[in-house]
Amino acid sequence: MFGFVAINQLSWSSLDVPDLAALPPFSVSYSFEENSYRQDLFIRAETIKGISTVVSALVLRERDQVRMPMSAEDQASVCATNMKGQDNALYLYAATHKDKYPDAARWREVLIEEDYAPKKVFICPTLGGDPEKDNHYVFVPWPWPNQVDGNFLVIIERKANHSGQRNVVCGDHGVRNVSEAEFQEMLAETIEALKTRGIEFNWQE
């Protein structure tokens, strides 16, 4: 006896995942023979990317529906990623605005309004908050990127949110997790460097 089952033109819409209507179909076949079992799975090569997209979308959807609490280490890591995104946005902004940074008083609004950064990158996960209005970071008022030495501060967290440590972005575009003592030393050096350029920065936590 021999039986054969084939599935073609699988409907992706049943997965209720957005933007998958254009994905190509795939074929699956199973063969059964008397006194033996053989299973053959044939997936057209051009559909592998589509299948991966489906799986990724489903995993992300489940992750969004069931949020597990982040550890303190994970929160610090996400915060650092946010700050790297801010630094990249500032760099791109300067590259398209005659090598000049945005006004430090409105840097968040400018980067969001001109689509250089999403609102969520200005929220530290340790603090939570409203992405529509909150900003947990401070941009040091450097007018031009080429004025910033590698050890001077560019972006800082408003508070030492991570077990007494604070994430900062320096002129070398690196994100560092520093102690409060290290931060205060870096801050003093940055303020002094700004003064030599005629720029006042009197920020306090």
Residue 116 confidence (pLDDT): 96
Given a cut of 70, whether residue 75 has pLDDT beyond it is: yes
What is the CA angle 122-126-132, rounded to 5? 35
As a whole number of angstroms, the distance between CA 10 and CA 137 comes to 48
Compute, in degrees rounded to 10, the torsion defined by CA atoms 86, 92, 94, 95: 160
pLDDT tens column, 119-139: 999 999 988 889 999 999 999
Given a cut of 90, whether residue 170 has pLDDT beyond it is: yes
Mean residue pLDDT of the chain comes to 76
- Bridge-based pairing state of the strands 2-7 and 28-33: antiparallel
What residue segments make up the domains of the chain, in order of their start? 2-65, 72-196
User: Which tokens belong to 53?
Assistant: 């997209």
